[in-house]
Amino acid sequence: MSGDKMADFYIPPQMKKRSNFILWKLETDEKGKQRKIPYSALYNGKASTTNSRSWTTYENALQGLKSGKYGGLGFVLDKILHSLI
């Protein structure tokens, strides 16, 4: 998905205020299965869904998505958000 397509999706303002965004790329694993692998918009490397230091703001993630290197945006549910669900 390109960054231009993001306008088609509604992201609630409450989510946009949080720095819980990552990027993802589709990659093929050793068994030939496609997986969404998390990447950080802060650096050129993989993100961790358990380490908030690899997450960023919506604006930074959107800018990374517009580079065309990634398949989409992701939002990580941290301990606080997970407890609300």
Quick check: 56 pLDDT over 60? yes
CB contact at 8 A, 25 and 39: yes
User: What sign for the dihedral angle of Cα 40, 1, 77, 18?
Assistant: positive
**Predicted confidence band at 10 (pLDDT cuts at 50, 70, 90)?**
confident
Q: What is the pLDDT of residues 24-49, one digit of tens each?
A: 999 999 999 999 999 999 998 999 99
**Predicted confidence band at 17 (pLDDT cuts at 50, 70, 90)?**
very high
pTM: 0.82
Domain parsing of the chain, residue ranges:
20-84
Amino acid at 84: L
Quick check: 82 pLDDT over 90? no
How many CB atoms sit inside 10 A of residue 28's CB?
9
